[in-house]
Homo-oligomer: A and B are copies of this chain.
Amino acid sequence: MDEQVPRDFETLRAAILDRRESLPKRIAQIAAYALDNPDDIAFGTAASIAASAGVQPSTLIRFAQQLGFDGFTSLQQVFRERLRERNSSYDERLQALRAKAEGGAGHRAIFDGFIAAASTSLNDISRTLDDAHLEDAISLLAKAQTIYVLAKRRSYPVASYIAYALGKLKIRNQLIESAAGLNAEMVGFATPADAVIAISFSPYAPATIEEARVIAEQGVPIVAITDSSFSPLAQFASVWFEVAEADFAGFRSLSATMALAMALTVGVGEKRRDASRKRKA
């Protein structure tokens, strides 16, 4: 009988679980360790793993052989492959998914595409966000009497969530929306004691830019979330964040922008709480 050698982690896991009962003591010990600490198996040396698991290196090799591998090294490959898979950059997957969706491969492919776009955006922003900017923006907003929230079109959902969250946190805010065409007047009320969160991505909604310009001229500090240093918003802003949202099928993921927006909002809430606590003390 020729042993079926597990080539992927799940098969391997199943194989181990399957024999669990019939394994000798020390082998069972290393088997349990392997399933509990797969990363260690992927990166460690036979000696280091054996030591951590409390067995001899030779036992580790016997374990591998029992499973049909010809040695520890080939067993380790499976554990490494697992990390590679799990980690294979979302960017590559996104490319593949775009092609697949173009080719008309069903609606699941579209869904996967949006998931991948969102994940990519989250990874990017998590890497590139500047902590100092975050602190600056939060300080600036925490001092404001009223926080105005300015965004149209595709950025509007973010603005509406910010307004909702600010409201929940009992932070005075005003969403600048267009329903009644009174934006200009609304904008006119803002003073340098207030602050603005403005969000706009290319192609920048002209109304957003115009209103940001006016409000900046009134001396109101602006925190901007936009997509490049060439953005017209960046020049009006006291602090601005560059957020590169991946898109799919023509629609931008908003996940990174949402996360940043929430961090700003909750950050302001915390800062205010700390400040009022300090005043009391």
Could you tell me which A residues sit within 8 Å of B by CB distance?
A: 10, 39, 42-43, 80, 83-84, 86-88, 104, 106-108, 110-115, 118-119, 122, 125-127, 129, 131, 134-135, 138, 153-154, 156-158, 160-161, 164-165, 168, 179, 248-251, 253-255, 258-260, 262-263, 265-267, 270, 274
Contact = CB atoms under 8 A, between A and B. Distances in A.
A39 B82 CA distance: 12
A73 to B, nearest CB: 11
A104 to B, nearest CB: 8
Contact of A112 (B104, B126, B266): B126
Given A80-B43, A127-B10, A251 B165 contact: yes
A262 B248 CA distance: 9
- Pick the 8 closest A-B CB pairs, nearest first: A111-B263, A157-B157, A114-B259, A157-B161, A255-B255, A107-B267, A249-B266, A114-B262
How many copies of this chain?
2
A165 to B, nearest CB: 6
Interface centre among A114, A131, A265, by most B CB within 10 Å?
A114
Contacts of A115: 122, 125-126, 259
B258 A118 contact: yes
Contacts of A119: 119, 122
Given A112-B126, A118-B118, A127-B10, A258 B263 contact: no
Contacts of A112: 126
Contacts of A87: 39, 83, 86-87
Contact of A254 (B114, B258, B270): B258
